Amino acid sequence: MTGQKQKMLAGELYVADDPELAADNRRISEWMGRYNATSTLSQPERQALLAEAFARVGEGCNIRPPFFCDYGYNISLGRGVFLNFNCCILDVVQVTIGDMTQIGPGVQILTADHPRDAGQRRQMLEFGRPVTIGANVWIGGGAMILPGVTIGDDAIIGAGSVVTRDMPAGGIAVGNPARLRLPA
């Protein structure tokens, strides 16, 4: 029988109230407590902490605390990635952020999703859909990236935008829901 963590990582329906997932969440909560107390540490010192928790951390990454995530081990950062204050990544499945991408304050990257069927929701089932953000992307403050979205290289997402579908490389998207303002 496949455990709830394996189902989660595979993007299948799972129940988050599982001992193994609870232990993983406690581990990352303790890590966030340490990380979010690092405002006086240098970028290289904070990067070493990121490497403790994330799947991959490229050279020169900088996440300004406070920062929040579900598990950490599903997050991969390319070289030179920057996340400003108060970002949140719900990483029940893979989140990949490409080289030199800059993310404004208060941005939310969400992979966690819930069934549309009310009966399945009553069973506390959920699932995840991966998020991929390309290289050299700029995401303005307060934007939300919803489950399953891919954002192409060199794209710009306007502040406060809610990205509900894929955005092409070089595109500029704004609004709620985010719409392509300039074609790629």
Residues that are catalytic: 114
Tokens of 179: 């719409």
Pairing mode of beta strands 14-15, 67-69 = unpaired
Residue 105 CA to residue 156 CA, distance in Å, equals: 15
Alpha-carbon distances, residue 89 vs 13, 68, 171, 183 (angstroms)? 19, 6, 23, 28
Q: Where are the beta strands (DSSP E) in 120-175?
A: 125-128, 131-133, 138-139, 144-145, 150-151, 156-157, 162-163, 172-174
Contact partners, residue 97, CB within 8 Å, separation at least 6: 75, 76, 77, 78, 81, 103, 133, 137
Cβ atoms within 10 Å of 154's Cβ, excluding its own: 19
- Choose among 161, 57, 77, 44: nearest CA to 149: 161
